[in-house]
Amino acid sequence: MSTPELDRRGFLRAAGLVGALPLLSPLAGTTAASAVATAATSGTALPAPAAWRLRPFALADVSLGPGVFADKRDLMLDYARGYDVNRLLQVFRANAGLPTLGAVAPGGWEGLDGEANGNLRGHYTGHFLSMLSQAYASTGEQVYADKISTMVGALVECRQALNQPPSVRSVPGRFGTAVESQRGSYQFAQLPTTVLGTAVQLTFAAWVKPGHDAAWARIFDFGNDTTRYMYLAARNQNGVPRFAITTGGGGREQGINANVSLPVGEWSHVALTLAGTVGTLYVNGVVAGRNTAMTLGPAQLGQLASYWLGRSLYPDPVYAGAFDDVNLWSRALTDIEVAALRTQPAYAAPAGRGDLASYDLDETGGQVLHDWSGRAQHASWLRTWGGPSHPGFLAAYPETQFITLETMTAPNYLVVWAPYYTAHKILRGLLDAHLATGDARALDLAEGMCDWMYARLSRLPAATLQRMWGIFSSGEYGGIVEAICDLHALTGKAEYVALAKLFDLNRLIDSCAGAQDILDGLHANQHIPILTGLVRLHDETGDDRYLAAAKGFWNMVVPPRMYSIGGTSTGEFWRASGRIAGTISDTNAETCCAYNMLKLSRMLFFHEQNPKYMEYYERALVNQVLGSKQDKADAEKPLVTYFIGLTPGHVRDYTPKQGTTCCEGTGMESATKYQDSVFFAAADGSALYLNLFIASTLRWAANGVTVEQSTTFPVEQGTRLTIHGNATFDLMVRVPSWVGPDFAVTVNGKTLKVDAVPGTYLRVARSWRSGDVVTVSLPFTLRTETAPDDRSLQSLCYGPVNLVTRDASRSYRSFGLYRNAALSGDLLPSLTPVEARPLHFTLDGHQVAPFYEGTEDPTHVYFRRSEPTVVFGGRNSGVANPVRANGSSLLDELWSGAPYGSKTELLKTLDTLTNSWVTDGLLSAGDRSAVLAAAKGATFVA
């Protein structure tokens, strides 16, 4: 493995984490700073692509200062610090047949019993690795590195175990020792096809200790397929054992249901006898069910293809639990003989060993279960899915998830649920672990995964790949292309570029590159990270088609499908462009979508310094991303939203699906990398971009300076930069589109005479000297944003902050805001500030607060705008506010012309405007006079 040479100016000691590794808490003194520096240098750098005009800084280079971002981050760091990672590793160890150390998986989507059969398990482990990596890169705390090392070491052991044949797991038995099929290991015993011989009658007896209460897991299943078989299930749909035999499929089964269940975690003796027309089922030596009308037995089934203990011929769960003293006889034991088996092993009981097969199950390893009947019917201990197709395979479930996807034509997450998405999360986590700590084992695991994927996917026809990636949910692969490209940048292996291109979804790429909007009806988060991957694929290949697709896609989402908090999607899907009001629901703004749109916006800004990308970044970060994290500590869950409902009175749910969904995963990552886009540097070191106004300190080693940003933004309407060290560079200050008319920049107390245009970057060129201070004034104004498909549905924004009404009503509230509008156009005078609570107001008796506060209060993000009469400075003209056919009112048109330099200027505009409304027949002359009189008598705030 070779590591490419770093960018010669040394930007980004860990740029490979481009937004993957988070920020640290405020560090006190040189000891803390040294700890972070140690963490940074212990990692491995990922070189920034040559195509990037800007370079991000490593998380270790930017530390957070006090404020809302640090507060939210610290809550997540505490969770990361205390959570037992063995719980996350449980599913990997179980799949590999390794001891799980008594750990219990988190549940929800992450666990053997997770939603949809646990078919997404393993994804959360990847997220957690990324979060730990960001936490370590940011803080240098050894606890995070130790957890990373534990997880990586366990995954190494799991991969090794997966590449070896399964070995018998010995546990204490009913008599001596027993063998156990651990839940999640997919292990079972295969008996020889000669085990029943020509038997006409049959007795099967065994001690079983179920480890799980799954229905239809088989104690044994002998058969050819789902037409010809006989089985004994530990539990049927009613929770009791069932025996069935058929030669005509499930609809023609002859069966026996027991009248008692088998307790989980306890030994029970089960036996079945078949003789003539009588079949009897025993539990603990007592008859539990009998069928006296049987016409089928071993002779009628004939020679069968499969004789299994613990596995089903149907897609049923594999039996989880232990077996002991399994015996088969070619006769039907008597009730007395069966009863005796409850107190002694078969070899010591009156019945003696089974004459067909007798398994003591005292093995402590290996794959052979010895038969002591004298017939040498030795059994084999196997996995249901055999073994990996390539030694690099690593997952928390069998490779069958990936194999089955290759033939699927329709989505079914109960069968296959996004295996390549899960692979992406694991791969990303391993890369982040390597980049943060330098652990070569993590890189080896990552390379192995990509080698395995290339071996699988490169043999598939192009049409198969296009079909796979187009399947909703099952074919979702997240940001795997981005991770593969990063691995290519680290290793230089050409096959990784070839692998990344195998994920091309041509219909999406071609339509987005050609500005053809096909997003209506698509699953949002399945597609957003694809485009981030395409940007990286452009970086590695130079193919402009990929970059064009990403830019075209971004414009289809922002702003046409964006809610005011920066989120997108409803019920995980997109609707038609421009439909905002028509999509409001309790399942808007999936949090993963915001996470991935931030990554895409950030990456596009590296290529093209269009301020719109960072405008969006700020909106989504300050509102949805911050607001998705609850302001509360929890040792078991990250407390992050999945959906954010925008219906009136919605209460945010911070613990969906037990806290292990995709959005909790990305939420963990978001909360540990808030600082990743505060500053960027020009590729040649000639400029420093100030993108976000967040309290933070940048250590720009390449230029020999430290830049300290002091602010309580967004509470404070400004920020202050102090330069430590001497250097010449351009300071590029973002002038937000929301900023008020009094935006100003001062250097060492002197105000710069510049024409600052909102929605641009302001260049401050200077040879900086240590101690220089730059102050940026960022005055907020209150404005509304209107849903494009319903002008009456609006949201309140104060500077970058989305303000919500806290109200339990499930109906939209109606508010008017022009009544006290300032000459500047600022609507803030219509709200009443709450004393000692910054950014909190009241409006018509209702509480108004920042969306970013992670409370469980019912909120209204949108409201109905109602301006029934023409009012100026609180003076009501008594005239109904007229409205044009397009929905625009007289007051809308008047205030769209703000700011006004004086009351006289406003009156002049109003005079002209009302005259045109009279001409258009929308306002009477008398009403015009009343409107002008009210305006003249009103007192306006400047």
Give the start-to-end residue ranges of the domains of the chain.
15-156+391-675, 170-383, 678-716+718-777, 875-942
Per-residue pLDDT, averaged over 410-431, amounts to 97
Token duo for residue 680: 């960027």
* Average pLDDT score, the chain: 94
Per-residue pLDDT, averaged over 744-763, amounts to 96
H or E element, residue 511: helix 506-513
C-alpha distance from residue 643 to each of 127, 581, 593 (Å): 18, 17, 10
Helix (H, G, I), strand (E, B) or coil at 773: strand
Is it the case that residue 14 has pLDDT exceeding 70?
Answer: no
Per-residue pLDDT, averaged over 137-158, amounts to 98
Could you report the per-residue pLDDT of 620-676, keeping only the tens digit for each? 999 999 999 999 999 999 999 999 999 999 999 999 988 899 999 999 999 999 999
Q: How far apart are CA 302 and CA 744, in angstroms?
A: 90
pLDDT of res. 658: 85
Nearest to 141 by CA among 696, 678, 676, 672: 672
Per-residue pLDDT, averaged over 95-106, amounts to 95
- On the CB side of 631, CA atoms within 13 Å amount to 15
Is it the case that residue 758 has pLDDT exceeding 50?
Answer: yes
What's the distance, CA 752 to chain centroid?
44
Q: Given the structure tokens 């959005």, which residue do they identify?
A: 663
Nearest to 320 by CA among 234, 415, 210: 210
pTM here is 0.93
Can you give the three-state secondary structure of 526-570, one letter per residue? HHHHHHHHHHHHHHHHCCHHHHHHHHHHHHHHCCCCECCCCCECE
Strand-pair category, 379-383 with 368-369: antiparallel
pLDDT of res. 738: 97
- Which residues touch 835 (CB under 8 Å, ≥6 apart)? none
Could you report the per-residue pLDDT of 719-736, keeping only the tens digit for each? 999 999 999 999 999 999
Is it the case that residue 84 has pLDDT exceeding 50?
Answer: yes
CATH classification for the domain delimited by 678-716+718-777, as one of 1.10.490.10, 3.30.300.180, 2.60.40.1180, 3.30.365.10: 2.60.40.1180
Token duo for residue 846: 């209702």
- % of residues, the chain, pLDDT over 90: 94
Residue 304: DSSP 8-state: -
Is it the case that residue 751 has pLDDT exceeding 70?
Answer: yes
How many CB atoms are closer than 10 A to CB 117?
Answer: 18
C-alpha distance from residue 583 to each of 570, 576, 860, 861 (Å): 6, 9, 15, 14
Q: How far apart are CA 877 and CA 111, in angstroms?
A: 65
Question: Where are the extended beta strands (E) located within 247-356?
Answer: 254-257, 268-275, 278-283, 286-291, 306-309, 321-329
pLDDT of res. 194: 98
C-alpha distance from residue 122 to each of 90, 588, 640, 660, 942 (Å): 9, 26, 19, 10, 58
Token duo for residue 152: 């990586």
Per-residue pLDDT, averaged over 239-266, amounts to 98
Nearest to 511 by CA among 483, 468, 568, 470: 470
Can you give the three-state secondary structure of 350-412, one letter per residue? CCCCCCCEEECCCCCCCCEECCCCCCCCCEEEEECCCCCCCCCCCCCCCCHHHHHHCCCCCCC
Strand-pair category, 846-850 with 841-843: antiparallel
Helix 662-670 vs helix 68-82: crossing angle, to nearest 10? 120
pLDDT of res. 24: 30
Token duo for residue 727: 């250097």
pLDDT of res. 18: 37
Per-residue pLDDT, averaged over 48-54, amounts to 96
Nearest to 868 by CA among 848, 846, 891, 885: 891
pLDDT of res. 38: 52
Could you report the per-residue pLDDT of 333-386, keeping only the tens digit for each? 999 999 999 999 999 999 999 999 999 999 999 999 999 999 999 999 999 999
Amino acid at 663: C
**Cβ distance 343 to 193 under 8 Å?**
no
Region for residue 669 given its phi and psi (left: phi exceeds 0; alpha: psi -120 to 50; beta: otherwise): alpha
Could you report the per-residue pLDDT of 260-273, keeping only the tens digit for each? 999 999 999 999 99
C-alpha distance from residue 346 to each of 188, 199, 290, 319, 596 (Å): 22, 19, 23, 23, 62
Token duo for residue 920: 């258009």
Could you report the per-residue pLDDT of 183-202, keeping only the tens digit for each? 999 999 999 999 999 999 99
Question: Where are the extended beta strands (E) located within 24-109?
Answer: 54-56, 62-64
DSSP code string of 883-941 = B-TTS-BHHHHHHTT---SSHHHHHHHHHHHHHHHHHTTSS-HHHHHHHHHHHHH----
Could you report the per-residue pLDDT of 894-927, keeping only the tens digit for each? 999 999 999 999 999 999 999 999 999 999 999 9
**CB neighbour burial string for 752-788, b if at least 16 within 10 angstroms, e if fewer:** eeeebeeeebbebeeebeeebebbbebbbbbbebbbe
Is it the case that residue 10 has pLDDT exceeding 80?
Answer: no
H or E element, residue 416: none
Could you report the per-residue pLDDT of 478-509, keeping only the tens digit for each? 999 999 999 999 999 999 999 999 999 999 99
Token duo for residue 648: 């009136």
pLDDT of res. 35: 55
Could you report the per-residue pLDDT of 830-847, keeping only the tens digit for each? 999 999 999 999 999 999
pLDDT of res. 45: 82
What is 170-383's CATH topology? Jelly Rolls (2.60.120)
Burial of 536 (0-12, 13-18, 19+ CB in 10 A): buried
What's the distance, CA 70 to chain centroid?
22
Q: In CATH, what number does 15-156+391-675 get? A: 1.50.10
pLDDT of res. 16: 34
Helix 419-437 vs helix 123-139: crossing angle, to nearest 10? 20
Token duo for residue 378: 């030795």
- Which residues touch 463 (CB under 8 Å, ≥6 apart)? none
Strand-pair category, 863-865 with 814-815: parallel
